[in-house]
Structure 1
Amino acid sequence: MEDRKLTVRAVERALDILMCFTKNTDLSLTEIAAQIDLHKSTVHRLLNTLEERGFVIRNHATEKYRLGIKIWELSNHLSQDDDPAVLLLPEMERLRDQLGETVSLYLRDGNERIRIQAVQSNQPIRRVAPVGARLPLTVGASSKVLVAFAEPADQQAILDSLEWSSVITREEYMKQLEQIRENGYATSYEEREPGAAAVAAPIFDRTGKVAAALSVSGPVSRLSVDTLHQFAPVLIESAKAMGIMMK
């Protein structure tokens, strides 16, 4: 039993290492060890194994690591039949063409949201939305949508585990969630980053549970508060259509 526990722990640590690359492309041994709070000698042994199997590549000139070819091979074998990033892309492109702004798709992962797909605006000045970005659940239109429409037990667990600051209190946040549920959508205006605005709506699966958040974002020079609210009905209809597409 002890050997089994050690084996499982080694797998968990190896996966923790791979997850470090969700935020950075290249990382040193020291940076990885700091992120997962492990001794460098332990991380070095795990990295050697991952490198031998092709899951990471080491740049000998910089002594930094990056994801290897095996990750790409695995991703190519993902089923596209129920992958929302692939399944919903045509509707996202249609919405981008209709509204002229960047369209993003988010899923919740614990206390973060992940941008799993984005269709960039064709405008010369636009908000670039990198796929794979992880963002906190306390700020941003998409974050608030994912929390506002979560199942009551999930929502309570999220609220209990979030870190609150002087920027927004739990009480203020809960009032916002109530308004979002009433409106059916959320907006943010320079809330997460200066110069950016967004409006987001929930995508419900066929069981009625919130599966993702759909957002339209861009610079505040084009997206005034009034414009965000004007976009909302179009966004909600698009989100409904996407919900029908999802299995």
Structure 2
Amino acid sequence: MDRALAVLLSFSTRRTEWGVMELAAEFDLDKSAAQRLLSTLTHRGFLYADPVTRRYRMGPAVWRISHTWERRGGMALLVEPVLAELADATSRTASFNLADGAYVRCVAAVDGGDVPIRDHPLVGELYPAHAGATSRAYFAFLSPSQRQSLMYHRPLAKFSDLTAQDAHTIEAEMLLVAEKGWAYSEGEYDSNTRAIAVPVFVLGRPVGSVSLGEHKREDLGDIRDLVSLLSQTAGKLEALLSAQSAEPR
């Protein structure tokens, strides 16, 4: 069992497939043992065997388990204590958001201020790629071609007078965010709020963002002074989601 789990955990953005001999060498197995292990995982749907290359990739059972865990609240329960620590320390609303097509979707949120940032729950809300720090902190760390395929082939909605709709303007802001490492917005998506956000990476790949937001009625000082603390929180989330020890950013 432990060896099977170790094989599944060995897949990453750099290691997307295994051959029988490669796996045998990596895990110090003989060829027949490696073949049996891969065949068992394939039979249960955790791996897929390419009939042409005879190499093994992750299978649909992995997606089914991860989808159930995230959509049924498992991820929220995992990250909420980290968000609560940030919300309590800053008196702002902290949220964790995952990529969802041309949006990022709020998975978990914790209010820390006296004035809630919204009069309705944030969890489940979709933030469009072109409007606001929460989404821009993720999309800025994709390649230009990825942004092009996700964002610019569709109409860009205008949420307020501050919402940019010109692709060149949006792209310039994306490049600036990628250079700085964080995003700031005020009134682009919701005219009553301002926010800062940083990307969250898992095993070197951007998966979403963590953000701090506040209602404009709040007077708690410049929210941009909290970027360092927000980056520390992103590091904690990355460690949780990568099953690794947190490292300073």
Say yes or no: TM over 0.5. Answer: yes
The CA deviation string for residues 10-61 of structure 1, in whole angstroms up to 9 with x for no partner, is xxxxxxxxxxxxxxxxxxxxxxxxxxxxxxxxxxxxxxxxxxxxxxxxxxxx
Q: What letter corresponds to residue 143 of structure 1 in structure 2?
A: S
Q: SS at 2:105's partner residue?
A: strand
Q: Assess if the C-alpha contact under 8 Å between 1:111 and 1:162 holds in 2.
A: no
Give the CA deviation at 1:107. Answer: 1.2
1:138 counterpart = 2:135: no
The CA deviation string for residues 86-134 of structure 1, in whole angstroms up to 9 with x for no partner, is 22111101001111111111112111221111112241x2213421112
Give the CA deviation at 1:83. Answer: 4.2
Counterpart-to-counterpart distance in 2, 1:79 and 1:134: 19
Residue aligning to 1:119: 110
Number of equivalences: 169
Q: Which consecutive segments of 4 or more residues in structure 1 shift more than 6 A?
A: none
Change (3 A) 1:223 1:159: farther
Residue aligning to 2:228: 233
Correspondences of 1:1-247 after superposition (within 5 Å): 78-79=68-69, 83-123=74-114, 125-128=115-118, 129-164=121-156, 167-168=163-164, 169-206=166-203, 208-222=204-218, 227-247=222-242
Q: SS at 1:116's partner residue?
A: strand
Q: SS at 1:161's partner residue?
A: coil
Q: Assess if the C-alpha contact under 8 Å between 2:134 and 2:209 holds in 1.
A: yes
Q: Assess if the C-alpha contact under 8 Å between 1:146 and 1:210 holds in 2.
A: yes
Counterpart-to-counterpart distance in 2, 1:201 and 1:223: 22
Q: Assess if the C-alpha contact under 8 Å between 1:198 and 1:216 holds in 2.
A: yes
Q: SS at 2:197's partner residue?
A: strand
Give the CA deviation at 1:241. Answer: 1.6
Whose helix proportion is higher, 1 or 2? 1
Q: SS at 2:209's partner residue?
A: strand
Give me the TM-score of the superposition, normalised by structure 2: 0.61
Give the CA deviation at 1:142. Answer: 1.0
Q: Assess if the C-alpha contact under 8 Å between 2:134 and 2:183 holds in 1.
A: yes
Counterpart-to-counterpart distance in 2, 1:165 and 1:119: 27
Give the CA deviation at 1:165. Answer: 6.4
Q: What letter corresponds to residue 202 of structure 2 in structure 1?
A: D
Counterpart-to-counterpart distance in 1, 2:113 and 2:190: 21
Counterpart-to-counterpart distance in 1, 2:156 and 2:113: 37
Counterpart-to-counterpart distance in 2, 1:112 and 1:79: 20
Counterpart-to-counterpart distance in 2, 1:180 and 1:122: 26
Give the CA deviation at 1:146. Answer: 1.6
Q: Assess if the C-alpha contact under 8 Å between 2:104 and 2:129 holds in 1.
A: yes
Counterpart-to-counterpart distance in 1, 2:189 and 2:142: 21
Q: What letter corresponds to residue 198 of structure 1 in structure 2?
A: A
Give the CA deviation at 1:202. Answer: 0.5
* Unpaired runs of at least 5, structure 2: 1-64, 243-249
Give the CA deviation at 1:178. Answer: 1.0
Q: Assess if the C-alpha contact under 8 Å between 2:79 and 2:237 holds in 1.
A: yes
Counterpart-to-counterpart distance in 2, 1:95 and 1:87: 14
- Which of 165-174 and 196-205 deviates more? 165-174
Residue aligning to 2:49: none
Q: What letter corresponds to residue 211 of structure 2 in structure 1?
A: S
Q: CA RMSD in A?
A: 2.7
Q: What letter corresponds to residue 216 of structure 1 in structure 2?
A: L
Residue aligning to 1:34: none
